[in-house]
Amino acid sequence: MGHLLSTPSLPSESGLTPFRTDGKDLREDMEDAVSRDNQVNDILDDIRDLKDQMKSAQSQLAYLLYSEADRQRAAVAGKLMVKNWWQYMETNHQGKSLLMEHRETMINAIAIEAGINERDIARFKFEHRRGKQLSPFTMVDTGNYALKQQMLESISQKYDRKGIKEWTNTKLSQLQSGSNKDSVNGMIKFEPCIAAFDRMQTEPLKAIMTVITKMTPNLQWKHSWKHLTIQNTETGEYIAWLAYDHLEGFAKIYVNKNLYSARAFEEEFLTAYGNIMSRKVIGNKGKGKGSAAEGVLTASDFLKAVGLTPEGKGSYMRVSTWTLRTKVPFIFEVTSIANEEFGQKYDDHLNRIAKRILKPDLVL
């Protein structure tokens, strides 16, 4: 029988026999590569879609936040807060009516002094109560911003900054004396009402001032609500500055590194701000004796304050919703910087905001 002869494989230049690739395997490898490319492209498309959705959601939230702030400011545009009605206390319905009439008479007389006509004054609306009790503050709705400003400007020109001495008469002298408030008893102050959105932005600055007082008790300083800054009274050096970024939800606290470390200041700030937010929900009720100075509430104090003790009349559902009031739409970050850096940080912050206004990022 004859033998079949086969042609031997030729060696490659390297001396190795070349690997024979089956056509089917090559097609499968190519298909796998194409499939992987498609998967990568799908992932990239999903990421782009997600980024667009996040931008769109951020834009919508920014608009809603602006609309709510605008609504709140419009709601208080014509309102005044008249403070320090501590001098007298009502003991019955008759006394309550007498005090409300007394307050309105005094406020209306000051409005007349400001040149407001009686027809406009007749449309003033007053709110004296906090729950069932008379509040030491009276809310006055003058009806519009112009009348409110007219009153405030007149008061600032005619009266001392300490306030206006509260009127008295024979009927009032028969009432029970109110709470003893040093330096404020009998001195009535008129202030513009501030929208909740704007108050929310000033509360962190109050916490910063609390921290500064605690950490550097001998330091003399002054604050600016307009610029959210705190400066040394004598030298003018910056001590702290609160910079908000509403769109990103950040609030940066810059502190003078010659006075504070960022970590220590942040720990004290979170404690102080937490106390402010707690009091915002339940007021100053239920403070324990040992912690009254700092306004720290124990769990027992809290339950008593909201009436959730066994003998209380509180509502668990109502209190649960109060937790929403302790939330703020900002993440706080503390950074220590040199005094000479404050100016540059301030300019950079304003320029960043200006660019957003002049060149808005439109999602189409």
Is 176 or 9 the better-scoring residue by pLDDT? Answer: 176
In 3D space, the residue among 252, 268, 269 whose CA is nearest the CA of residue 337 turns out to be 252
Tell me the one-letter amino acid at 77.
A
- The phi and psi torsions of 143 (rounded to 5 degrees) equal 105, -30
Is 170 or 336 the better-scoring residue by pLDDT? Answer: 336
Q: What are the structural domain ranges in the chain? A: 79-193, 197-358
Cα angle value 207/211/213 (rounded, 5°): 115
Interval 161-172: pLDDT, tens: 888 988 888 787
Range picked from 50-59, 75-84, 298-307, 316-325 for highest mean pLDDT: 75-84
| Amino acid 168: pLDDT | 81
Which two tokens mark 94?
Answer: 């008759």
For the full predicted model, state whether its pTM sits above 0.85: no
Interval 22-37: pLDDT, tens: 566 777 777 777 777 7
Mean pLDDT for the chain overall: 82
* Interatomic CA distance for residues 61 and 63, integer angstroms: 5
Which two tokens mark 277?
Answer: 């937010």
| Amino acid 290: pLDDT | 39
What is the widest separation between alpha-carbon atoms in the chain? Answer: 145
300 — pLDDT class (breaks 50, 70, 90) = confident
Least confidently predicted of 211-225, 257-271, 301-315, 334-348:
301-315
* Interatomic CA distance for residues 152 and 192, integer angstroms: 8
Cα angle value 303/308/311 (rounded, 5°): 115
* Interatomic CA distance for residues 337 and 300, integer angstroms: 41
